[in-house]
Structure 1
Amino acid sequence: MTEVWKPSVTAAAIIERDGRFLLIEEHTSDGIRINQPAGHLDPHESLIHAVIRETLEETAHDFTPTALVGTYLARYFSARTGKSNTYLRFAFCGTLGASHDRSLDHGILRVLWMSRDELAACPERHRSPQVLQCVDDYLRGDRIPLSMLHTDPSVIGNNHD
């Protein structure tokens, strides 16, 4: 039997305040990069839970998703390692909540706010091309209601892997 190909599923938060977007600066295998608060979907969690958790871990802030901005399928190739991976990104917009006194996730250097133009001026620093694409889709008004996302209870329940 051959191995089944599976993309890595990630959830990202698009958070805008006064024309600026909340971003993180992080260590990656290709150096220091800018990204939205984002990360992998963990076993036994919904996409909504994943984006809430990742935002808290990477920014020390609560996040309340209000809509799905879009889904993005992209292949990433690391010039440093020569390896590639395909990512399926679900980008959510929403509101930033309370700040917590806690450490940021391993590898996160800092949280920063940037305008769309500031972000567009440094594409070489982006974790992926989807960073700017998500912002542009958000600014265009792309929104999919959260009611369109469905997570079967078997995902979250106490099942066997």
Structure 2
Amino acid sequence: MNDIQASPSAVWCPRVTVACVVADGDRYLMVEEEVAGRLAYNQPAGHLDDGESLASAAVRETLEETGWTVALEHLIGVHQWRSTEHGDSVVRFSFAARALSHDPQRPLDKGIHRALWLTRAEVAALGDQLRSPLVLQSIDAWLAGQRVPLTVLGSLLSEDRYP
């Protein structure tokens, strides 16, 4: 059966996620979160919501998980990975973003313990506590100068809550 004939429930769909590498000098904005009963560290990241652009999702997730409002500057890359946490395939869009302002009173998403700034060496030292290998891969791609203009992303969605 080809894709056109497949029923919607039979079509495989990966989880689409977004993440932001937010740098301040040699430090990176990270979140400490509880995942499946253990502490894990990640960039501000999360799932793309229905009707939401990739850029909007990245800005929204960063605000919800850290209290930081950011401006996206570049797409760092698109990465595929099979999660060891849930076994599903993940397609992750990693963005470089600049911190604009912080609201320390803003409640953080459920499961997020805190936002913190760590150096690359401190992130690497977390080892198995990293939510995925994509965390360090995104920082390293950014450090290597990998930058793709945001104009490569297209959206025909009428709703874009976080331009």
TM-score normalized with structure 1 length:
0.90
For 1:91-110, list aligned pairs within 5 A. 91-100=94-103, 101-110=105-114
CA distance in 2, matches of 1:139, 1:31: 29
Specify the alignment match of 2:31 in structure 1. 24
Contact 1:62 1:99 in 2 (8 A): yes
Q: Give every structure 1 segment of 4 or more consecutive aligned residues whose post-TM-superposition deviation is greater than 3 Å.
A: none
Give the number of aligned pairs.
152
Choose from 59, 69, 76 the match for 1:69.
76
Specify the alignment match of 1:15 in structure 2. 22
Specify the alignment match of 2:4 in structure 1. none
Contact 2:32 2:40 in 1 (8 A): yes
Q: Which runs of 5+ in 1 are unaligned?
A: none
For 1:46-85, list aligned pairs within 5 A. 46-78=53-85, 83-85=86-88
Contact 1:10 1:38 in 2 (8 A): yes
Contact 2:43 2:135 in 1 (8 A): yes
Q: Which runs of 5+ in 2 are unaligned?
A: 1-6
Contact 1:123 1:129 in 2 (8 A): no
Q: What SS does the corresponding residue of 1:153 show, helix, strand or coil?
A: coil
Identity %: 40
Q: What SS does the corresponding residue of 1:77 show, helix, strand or coil?
A: coil
Once the 2 structures are TM-superposed, how far is the Cα of residue 30 of structure 1 from its aligned partner? 5.4
TM-score normalized with structure 2 length:
0.89
Contact 2:70 2:98 in 1 (8 A): yes
